[in-house]
Amino acid sequence: MKHYKFEQVLFNDGWRSNVCISVDESGRITALGKEQPNISYESFHHYLIPGFQNAHSHSFQYAMAGLAEIHPKSSQADDFWSWRNAMYALALQISPEDIYSIAKMLYMEMLVHGYTNVAEFHYVHHDKNGNPFGNLSEMGERLIRAAKDVGINITLVPIYYEKGGFGKPPVDGQKRFISPSIDDYLKLYSASKTSCENYIGANVAIGIHSMRGVDPENIKNVACDFDKNVPFHIHISEQLREIEDSINYLGKRPVEWFAENIQMDDRFHLVHATHLTREETLSIANSGANVVLCPSTEGNLGDGLFPVKTYLENHGNWSIGTDSHIGLNPYEELRILDYGQRLTTHKRDTFVSQGNNDSGFFAFDAAMKAGRKAMNNFEMEYFKVGEELNAVIVDSKHPLVASSSMEKVCSTLIYSGDVRFNKGTFVRGEMVIDDGVHRDQESIGDSFVSTLKKLAVR
């Protein structure tokens, strides 16, 4: 048993003072509340908030963070599609050992920034020639091992990727991603589910790369008829060209087709959903489904802005992810999301609702709850007896925090915070980040640098 005491802890109804938390050997909370006699507590004169949920990650892309910013002088626009070619070139190179080294570094950085859970949208499945490994989930298993070794919770989302575009065969750059048939994908999913048994902090979800990446009938089959007890993730309506191609091939826009053919509920997580009509926006919100927004990546790729204001006015659910990992700061992801809306609406009240006028708390609460659903966790209480202690220690001595009243702390974090505000991270009751440092930080960094030098991508 471990026993902790915190100066302030954030609960669903606000901050509470001098909260004591006891956890058992599995990291689950056994007691929560006032100090009990005859118990020795480890005291933290800091604040505690629930851990952030990173609902969308492509771990291997961390190796190319910041590298696609030298733009060729040509008549062809440098856009998402040209960036994708650079990403394919990296994906064709990495070995199982490489993806482990890259993911280990990335997941450590996520922990430092306050993420305790990550949904890994994983599609680099096969060897460099495009052939399946003997263990179908070899690459996914390396991601799970990386998560286990650094101490982050992982939801592995093995991705069904079948086509090179609407009605088109895959291209050579996609050969490591492809499951040729629905049966091949179901075998991959089964192997991935088995791999998750290697780590108590791992579970599995279903994923389809995109509307353009899988035959429409197979999308319906996987979404409607297969393992309804886990979350379903899909990229959708990220790019304008994708929407044009969808209309030409299906006669419908991507979300329009999806809403008409799939009965969505809160197990569905639509990633990006950048370009929507009002009707599509309402269809997602009214279904109870979730969108996953990745503001730093969406901005970096020039994707566009999701219609947050309309979506929130209709009680839509949303979470955040770091996608290509051009940014890893959850506070920044949330404020970029808000600022994009402020620049288009010319209003500053994006993150408010009836009964809640605290933008910081609103953003934190919404992203945390939908993010948990992305990991198949439907517990909406921030901290609760019987649940794991996954949390971030906030530095109460940081001048901006120390000088704030408690009602202003959430907004101080969201609108001015960065990694310097974090003192530590708990995952399943263990403090895996202590004063900004992971116990294996040096060796993880050395391995990462060695891997990237070998790949010669930077």
Q: How many CB atoms lie within 10 A of CB 161?
A: 22
Q: For the chain, count helices (H), then strands (E).
A: 15, 17
Pairing of the two strands 391-394 and 422-427:
antiparallel
Q: How many CB atoms lie within 10 A of CB 234?
A: 29
Q: Give strand ranges (E) for 13-112.
A: 14-23, 29-33, 42-50, 52-57
CA distance 320 to 293: 5
Is the distance from CB of 431 to CB of 399 less than 8 angstroms? no
CA distance 414 to 412: 6
CA distance 28 to 147: 19
User: Torsion-angle region of residue 346: left (phi > 0), alpha (psi -120 to 50) or beta?
Assistant: left
Q: Residue 46 has which token pair?
A: 């800091």
CA distance 104 to 89: 21
Catalytic residue among 46, 113, 272, 398: 272
Question: Is 393 strand, coil or helix?
Answer: strand
Catalytic residue among 323, 358, 365, 395: 323
Q: Residue 441 has which token pair?
A: 């930080």
Is the distance from CB of 248 to CB of 258 less than 8 angstroms? no
Q: How many CB atoms lie within 10 A of CB 334?
A: 26
CA distance 27 to 428: 4
The set of residues, in sequence order, having a beta carbon less than 8 Å from that of 435 and lying 6+ positions away, is: 423, 424
**Residue 184 bears catalytic tag:** no
Going by C-alpha positions, the residue among 65, 50, 117 that lies closest to residue 296 is: 65
Question: Is 392 strand, coil or helix?
Answer: strand
CA distance 55 to 295: 12
**Residue 323 bears catalytic tag:** yes
Is the distance from CB of 78 to CB of 71 less than 8 angstroms? yes
Q: How many CB atoms lie within 10 A of CB 244?
A: 12
Which residues are designated catalytic? Answer: 272, 323
